[in-house]
Amino acid sequence: MGKDSISQRITKSSFLTHEEVTSIETWIKKLNRYSLHTQNQKITYIKNMFSHSYRILGQGLNRIVFDLGNGHVLKIALSEVGLLSNKNEHSLYTDCHPSVKKYLCPVKEHGNGWIVMKKMDDKLPPTLQNFNKLINLHARFFSQGILPVDLRPVNTALDKKGKLKIIDYGLFMKFV
């Protein structure tokens, strides 16, 4: 896909304005310059870049997650691993077998350094039954050629129907 195709796809974002996408792309171009900055410095830079007031839902070493206020979240890379995680989530959601895709939080849109996913409000309760579900999911993903690295309760949630969804699968790895 050429550069123009990417620009056209991004310009037609259903979730972000052209200015927001441009801001994210500006951040991604500067990402390597900020690799030695602290996490707080990176987050402050991103917050200052945006003219919106999206609420931060979470942040890790590699990505920051914003609530778009419309039932979706925006994940922006804070590092090279964050860039790979966003690409990986899109790739897995697009290409994996339906028997495991139904457990993945839906990816709605993606671009250079960002991804929009469905928002899941309810965290997975820490019950023995739910831990057993995660163990079984691990085996199910593995049987489909996917190593579910970092499959743990904090990276899961329940959808509106009460079904388990994995909300962070950026470190999952295909091995087939």
Share of the chain above pLDDT 90, in %: 60
Report pLDDT digits (tens) over 53-64.
788 898 888 999
> What is the per-residue pLDDT across 157-175, written as a single tens digit (0 to 9) for each?
999 898 999 999 999 999 8
With residues binned 3-state (H G I as helix, E B as strand, rest as coil), the percentages for the chain, rounded to 5, are: 45, 20, 35
DSSP designation for 33: G
Record the pTM.
0.88
Q: Compute and round to an integer the Cα radius of gyration of the chain.
A: 16
* pLDDT-based confidence at residue 51 (cuts at 50, 70, 90): low
Average pLDDT (84-98) is 96
Of 99, 101, 97, 89, give the one whose Cα is nearest residue 150: 89
Three-state DSSP class for residue 125:
coil
E runs forming strands in the chain? 55-59, 63-67, 72-77, 107-111, 114-118, 122-123, 146-147, 156-158, 164-166, 173-174
Beta bridge mates, 114: 76, 111
